[in-house]
Structure 1
């Protein structure tokens, strides 16, 4: 099954397949995904809007036929296929503690019909009981575990009793919240032990170290926190399940805010490092990964990857390691003398083989030097690569290694950004900003006493895009209403951190719904 891909925001969309912006699924789309190296496909399905009332909860014929059509197309492409109950989890299954009879009757009615519809399908079709199970009004985890055990157990018994291929079909059981904390894993282990069924798999989801996944609390880089969270998660599921012969499917993974609609939240090079590491750590632990793609990776209208380099890093990670570096950006000044600059290579078991610009190799000694893992670009090389030194990316080179994909390095000309005074309201406030070739990394907000201002007040670093957002075309940084909703009246000091390393200090004063801003 490795690697796998999610047909996200499609059949799970509410109320129907195209409601969340994706086109109708076609055979051509599925063929394309298969041709790109993916071997399994998860088709999340929300059934809530597509069945009749109690007591029979009859699934709409047209909806079931459409699901069957896409499942059949996927199997014809030689995919392993997984279907589930998706957003049903928070729409009505979560009400189980307060109304167990109604929820269980509906749950059983749906799975009875789904199991019946697919009972004679290929064994390459799998059923997943519930997506990200969660429950309202419980007394805590112990009761949550009991409820999930009841639902998972009922699911397995019902499907097995439906006969045909379902007697031995692979069934996939989630942990609570599909989370990989040890307590969640142990609770699912108890369920698996009690069921004693050889054709069960466990599933968890993985969206990385949360501050990095959404860019909050200064989590701008793939650092040791991100790495240790990744290794710890994958080690726990391997030690709990894989070591006992129970397959583990990482049914969804990515970073939460990597999205073509929110550019800049996750810096591209840091994301590439994350992708490389996930592939390696999953592969060496025999975990199956199914990337969550709601349209942010594959442009389904054009059948092209939105970022070809991201796809190439993903694909390489399925079989090998790739070398990376401390950054994929080298900033040089717009004017004045350019000095040499260094990057630290992360060899990841590879051997560095040189730098290249297009089809031309750069010359060791004249253009770059290597000392241990320190790669230094010479002043003369950077001056040449900077070209006319217009703001922004002037040239692209790549570090090449003995295996995997090359590491991209952009040579960027910039000057320190500047800002200007502004007035506005808590619902519409933008700071005039001349970025001058630079890119925003994060923003801090503090009151006069040094305490964190605004939402998430456990950290001065606010959440990129949720609380603030650069608009490079308009030359502004927007402060969002969500930010001001939790800012006290008075003066707040903002510190903007840019990827060049430059910082700007800016001051805002909030009085009711009125906001003013200045550089001093």
Structure 2
């Protein structure tokens, strides 16, 4: 989540928080006013193969076919009528040559070509900075590891605050606070970090004092046997996924993660690295172009390759990548898992704040949610319980069931103490989303922006004492 430091700031900044907002192009992947379309029209696979979701958009009852001539590519459905969603599945490419094919979709009068590309197996042996070290690194599968993480909490608006740890209104993190989080039933802590505090900006050299402070906060959680997800957060928004910025971002990302990974290389499996946060083109909240998601996928690959190359325990560390803008639909449709020299150590992260008018919009008249809502005028017509289940089932089908653990890295709904009766519906939302996430194999990680006594906050702990400030919400999260 981007910065949230006041009610006004919340309204502005929540626009860049979730790839799952309630705008039409975020909640409905079906194009309107089109007779026939296929999304995406360009598909890329890594050398290890995998699956990619394909969507057929067509008028109800209209027949369509897919023609595929590649023996290394299989398609779950090659004909049908009306809308459809299914996978392209690529076998591992054991050759040292990239391979390409074209799948032709037809509705009888119109053809659409889907370009499919798969990278070659690397021709050179992977080079590590130091010898890989599997000691004290879990051998659990990615999915089993995610299940062990339990329920999580974000130390939001703190180490990612531009201008310093206390710049967005929260006190410095402490062992007392993290002890309180653990005691409340949370087993995982996500620590958003803005790493661009440089001693040498031209070489992206992270300041040693800042590196030491982040380590101190990580140690608060590690010392009490919590899992820690440590990421590169918004950080001023320098990570724009465009062709014009691709080389610059990948260079900067690699140099920063090499330093971070090397510094934390000796930590055991409890420390998880997450490469990015909510990557999107500033101001563009629509469905990403092929340029946008292709470049964003390259950021994920740069992160994984850089961390693995540092060797030691990082050769076996669990790593988290994200789908485009952490939007569930975009992740299913466009995310490509990076190539990884270590098998079964990748996690995928998405976020969830639907419906936006209920969860984040402090001026909205939408103040009720779910089956217990009593006033249709105060309730969205979408994003109810069935929608929540469908979104999380989509992640289970496309990732968990294919051996990739899923992190729900952020979710939450603001308090509306100025709206009588709102808390009951907020509790319904929090309880349902938290439990549905767990039931579908996702690790729910609550977004806490601090300032728990303020209206429109998502803070649930006193940041000075570690005391729970909203027992009902905490119970709804961890139940």
TM-score range, shorter chain: 0.5 to 0.7
Which residue number in structure 2 is paired with residue 92 of structure 1? 238
Which residue number in structure 1 is paired with residue 394 of structure 2? 236
Which residue number in structure 1 is paired with residue 209 of structure 2? 62
Which residue number in structure 1 is paired with residue 474 of structure 2? 311
Q: Which structure's relative contact order is higher, taking Cα pairs within 8 Å and 6+ residues apart?
A: 2
Give the CA deviation at 1:290.
0.6
Residues 13/217 of structure 1: CA separation in 2 closer, same or farther (3 Å cut)? closer
Give the CA deviation at 1:218.
4.7
Q: TM-score, normalised by structure 2?
A: 0.61
How many Å separate the matches in 2 of 1:215 and 1:57?
Answer: 37
How many Å separate the matches in 1 of 2:317 and 2:170?
Answer: 30
Which residue number in structure 1 is paired with residue 370 of structure 2? 223
Asked if structure 2 preserves the Cα contact closer than 8 Å seen for 1:9 and 1:294, the reply is yes
Residues 154/219 of structure 1: CA separation in 2 closer, same or farther (3 Å cut)? same
Q: 2:427 aligns with which of 272, 295, 317?
A: 272
Give the CA deviation at 1:216.
6.7
1:2 aligns with 2:150: yes
Residues 301/263 of structure 1: CA separation in 2 closer, same or farther (3 Å cut)? farther
How many Å separate the matches in 1 of 2:210 and 2:440?
Answer: 38
Give the CA deviation at 1:129.
0.7
Which residue number in structure 1 is paired with residue 11 of structure 2? none
How many Å separate the matches in 1 of 2:252 and 2:341?
Answer: 22
Q: 1:302 aligns with which of 465, 474, 479?
A: 465
For structure 1, which runs of at least 5 residues remain unmatched after alignment? Answer: 317-520
How many Å separate the matches in 2 of 1:17 and 1:156?
Answer: 27
Asked if structure 2 preserves the Cα contact closer than 8 Å seen for 1:170 and 1:200, the reply is yes
Cα RMSD of the aligned pairs, angstroms, is 2.3
How many Å separate the matches in 2 of 1:306 and 1:171?
Answer: 32
SS at match of 1:48: coil
Give the CA deviation at 1:193.
6.9
1:248 aligns with 2:406: yes
Asked if structure 2 preserves the Cα contact closer than 8 Å seen for 1:44 and 1:83, the reply is yes
Q: 2:185 aligns with which of 37, 46, 53?
A: 37
Give the CA deviation at 1:46.
0.7
SS at match of 1:157: helix
Which has a greater percent of strand? 1
Q: Pick which of 264-273 and 106-115 moved more.
A: 264-273
How many Å separate the matches in 2 of 1:19 and 1:265?
Answer: 32
Give the CA deviation at 1:145.
1.1
How many Å separate the matches in 1 of 2:293 and 2:341?
Answer: 15
Give the CA deviation at 1:197.
3.7
Which residue number in structure 1 is paired with residue 251 of structure 2? 105
Which residue number in structure 1 is paired with residue 314 of structure 2? 166
Which residue number in structure 1 is paired with residue 351 of structure 2? 205
Which residue number in structure 2 is paired with residue 336 of structure 1? none
Encode CA deviations 1:216-273: one digit per residue, 9 max, x unaligned.
7752211363223311211111111111121000001102x336xx643981000111
Please list every run of at least 4 consecutive aligned residues from structure 1 whose deviation after the TM superposition is greater than 4 angstroms: 136-140, 192-196, 215-218
Q: TM-score, normalised by structure 1?
A: 0.56
Which residue number in structure 1 is paired with residue 447 of structure 2? 292
For structure 2, which runs of at least 5 residues remain unmatched after alignment? Answer: 1-148, 372-381, 451-458
How many Å separate the matches in 2 of 1:146 and 1:283?
Answer: 30
Asked if structure 2 preserves the Cα contact closer than 8 Å seen for 1:209 and 1:230, the reply is no
Give the CA deviation at 1:17.
0.7
How many Å separate the matches in 2 of 1:123 and 1:15?
Answer: 31
SS at match of 2:233: coil
1:132 aligns with 2:278: yes
How many Å separate the matches in 2 of 1:106 and 1:300?
Answer: 33
How many Å separate the matches in 2 of 1:31 and 1:175?
Answer: 32
How many Å separate the matches in 1 of 2:237 and 2:182?
Answer: 32
Larger radius of gyration: 1
1:258 aligns with 2:405: no
Asked if structure 2 preserves the Cα contact closer than 8 Å seen for 1:258 and 1:265, the reply is no
How many Å separate the matches in 2 of 1:51 and 1:136?
Answer: 27
How many Å separate the matches in 2 of 1:175 and 1:117?
Answer: 26
Asked if structure 1 preserves the Cα contact closer than 8 Å seen for 2:301 and 2:339, the reply is no
SS at match of 2:240: helix
Asked if structure 2 preserves the Cα contact closer than 8 Å seen for 1:258 and 1:266, the reply is no
How many Å separate the matches in 1 of 2:420 and 2:264?
Answer: 41
